[in-house]
Amino acid sequence: MSIRFYPVQESSFHHSGYTVKVGGKTVPTDAARVSAVPYNRRWPGHQRTLDQTEMISFLSLAADEPLQFEITPETPFENVQIRPLSLGIKPEITPDGRILFTLPHPAYCTVEPYGRQNVLHIFVDPLPEYDIDPAAPHTIYYGPGIHDAGQIELHSNDTLYLEEGAVVYACIKAVDAENIRILGRGILDNSRNLAKILFAADTENNSSAVNNAKRQHTIQLEYCTHVEIDGITIRDSLVYNIRPIGCRDLTIRNVKIIGCWRFNSDGIDMHNCEDVLIEHCFLRTFDDAICVKGFDCYYEGDVEAAVNAAMYRNGESYDVFRNVLVRDCVIWNDWGKALEIGAETRAEEICCIVFEDCDVIHTCGPVLDCCNVDYADVHDVTFRRIRVELDEIIPPPRYQYLDKEPYGEIAPGFVPPVIRADVQFHHEYSAGGTRRGINRDLLFEDIEVFGDVVPVFGFAGYSEEACCRDIVIRRVYVNGTLAEAPGAYALHIGNHCRNIRYTLTE
């Protein structure tokens, strides 16, 4: 039985909102910048402003035993919530303002004395089992300390290892590589990755992204096979945190994503991959959290030719996305969708996709979503045993059209759809394509919703052929009670939908 605290390095991020003791020992916390309000826009030619963000604290360690936490917030509070609720933790608040609770096993959770703001994030990993020789061939090793690595290129058989206490400022890229690993309990920090502005263009009221900048994803994997990413924390991504394109046999495990506040800082967005496992991860993102996508192309030119070149490479075909399992993940979505198919769906098929046993602890947009804006035949998709926690007052996602336009007041009553699927044309995402796809054979099973809400489910097709059909919602629970009568849920079925039903039985 043991506990391992990860060393905390000095950085540009500072937040001292909590004193934390574990097992009676005071331990340092780290910090990150996150979104404070769900205020987004298509890239307007410049980055989001800091007044829409806040600093938060997070604590990272590993253990194989129950942990006794004593947390003292600096600011007075009245109540506290530990999420995800599925952990079943009922904290004690002492008369002098300390929060006491036991975490029985490794888990990723949040301590929330002030609602969605000023939250303490706790990441307790299982004890690491890496067997890494820093001097071995094909091993790129970063030990404790600060490392300004810039661009890290991985090649076949490479292992990138970030030791506990390492903060590596870098982007990672691999193309046509096999047997690569990104391991360790260090931090991959992307805060020094800035957009390369090609020309000044501060566009207001724009409905499409302005093409005046180059922005690099934190981890970009293209046409790679046998890939493992395990244990790392990614902080402050410029755009997507992890972006696999045409990858096969990909495993992402025990990854923590935090500090997403910049435009389009999605979590894990995958394009036409096969045989993917994502498990035991924590993602707090300012845009979609985990997405299964087809190829995307946003630029002036022959989009179809570019997509065809991406789909057929080195004699291999990448025109299908299949066999994905996402399980046991904790999602905090500050904008966009939590668990999604789409929106880009340039693939012949997207199929055999399973999301199960996940906790969505905060959201302001559609939670379980299938948005088909291109031509994929999306089928055999299952969302099973997903737990959705809805705040008493949810800040609605809004678009900012003018730089000086404030977010505005938050009024009660907004509830995002828990389940949504549609086929549509999007002026930007569809990139001028004329083919439309289909959503069929989708299953939403044993979905639990927490909050004083009536969960909303919505479906819509595009045409009689490009439709939503053969979709089953099987058992939804609201605060532990099975929603049996139609008044316990809201099912909206639009045009071009067939055989969509709510049922209690197999």
Give the mean pLDDT of the chain: 96
- Residue 54 belongs to domain spanning: 3-125
Q: How far is residue 504 from each of residues 322, 433, 444, 447, measured CA to CA in Å? A: 28, 39, 12, 12
pLDDT of residue 14: 87
Among residues 106, 125, 144, which one ends one of the domains? Answer: 125
User: Do 164 and 98 belong together in one domain?
Assistant: no
pLDDT score at 299: 59
Residues 345, 261 share a domain = yes
Look at residues 157, 165, 160, 184 and name the one whose alpha carbon lies nearest to residue 10.
165
Both 103 and 203 in one domain: the answer is no
171-218 pLDDT, tens digit per residue, is 999 999 999 999 999 999 999 999 999 999 878 898 889 999 999 999
C-alpha dihedral, 111 to 114 to 120 to 121, nearest 10°? 60
Instruction: Report whether 245 contacts 223 (CB < 8 A).
Output: yes
Tell whether 282 is covered by a domain. Answer: yes
> Is the predicted pLDDT of residue 303 greater than 80, yes or no?
no
Give domain status of residue 480, yes or no.
no
Q: Identify the pLDDT of residue 343.
A: 96
With 0-12 / 13-18 / 19 or more C-beta atoms within 10 angstroms meaning exposed / middle / buried, residue 251 is middle
Residue 428, pLDDT above cutoff 90: no
Same domain, residue pair 173 and 90: no
Give backbone dihedrals phi and psi of 488, rounded to 5 degrees, phi first.
-85, -5
Question: CB neighbours (10 Å) of residue 316?
Answer: 10
Phi first, then psi: give them for residue 428, nearest 5 degrees: -105, -50
Whether 501 is in a domain gets the answer no
**Among candidates 215, 255, 250, which has minimal Cα distance to 233?**
255
Whether 42 and 160 share a structural domain: no
Residue 321, domain member (yes or no):
yes
Q: Are residues 204 and 304 in the same domain?
A: yes
> What is the model's pTM?
0.97
State residue 486's pLDDT score: 86
Is residue 300 predicted with pLDDT exceeding 70?
no
CATH of the domain at 86: 2.60.350.10
- Pairing label, strands 30-35, 92-93: unpaired
**Beta-carbon count within 10 A of 26 CB:** 10
Name the domain count of the chain.
Answer: 2
**In this structure, are residues 182 and 160 in contact, taking their beta carbons and an 8 Å threshold?**
yes
Query: Residues 165, 23: one domain?
Result: no
Whether residue 121 contacts residue 58, with contact meaning beta carbons closer than 8 Å, is answered with yes
- If asked whether residues 35 and 176 sit together in one domain, one would say no
Bridge partner residues of 291 (DSSP)? 269, 340
Q: Which residues pair with 499 in a beta bridge?
A: none
C-alpha distances in angstroms, 29 versus 26, 144, 448, 465?
A: 10, 16, 32, 54
Lowest-confidence pick of 13-22, 26-35, 292-301: 292-301
| CA–CA dist 194, 214 (Å, integer) | 9
Is 213 found in the same domain as 117?
A: no
Q: Same structural domain for residues 164 and 309?
A: yes
Q: How far apart are CA 89 and CA 66, in angstroms?
A: 13
pLDDT of 11: 84
Domain assignment present for residue 74? The answer is yes
**22 and 162 inside one domain:** no
Once rounded to an integer, what is the mean pLDDT over residues 320-349? 97
Q: Determine, yes or no, domain membership for 488.
A: no
In angstroms, how far is the first alpha carbon of the chain from the final one? 43
Match 């980055």 to its residue by tokens: 47
Residue 195: CATH number of its domain:
2.160.20.10
What is the percentage of the chain residues whose pLDDT exceeds 70? 99
What is the C-alpha to C-alpha distance for residues 394 and 392, in angstroms, rounded to an integer? 6
pLDDT of 301 above 80: no
pLDDT (average), residues 153-166? 98
Q: What confidence tens digit (pLDDT) does each residue in 460-479 have?
A: 999 999 999 999 999 999 99
More confident residue, 388 or 206: 388
Domain end residue (candidates: 125, 141, 176): 125
User: What mean pLDDT is predicted for residues 141-161?
Assistant: 98
Whether 465 maps to a domain, the answer reads: no
**Residues 87-112: tens digit of each pLDDT:** 999 999 999 999 999 999 999 999 99
Both 77 and 180 in one domain: the answer is no
Residue showing tokens 């790679």: 224
> Contact, 238 vs 169, CB < 8 A?
no
- Compute the half-sphere exposure of residue 25: CA atoms within 13 Å on the CB side of its CA: 9
Averaged pLDDT, 385-403? 96
Q: Is residue 302 part of a domain?
A: yes
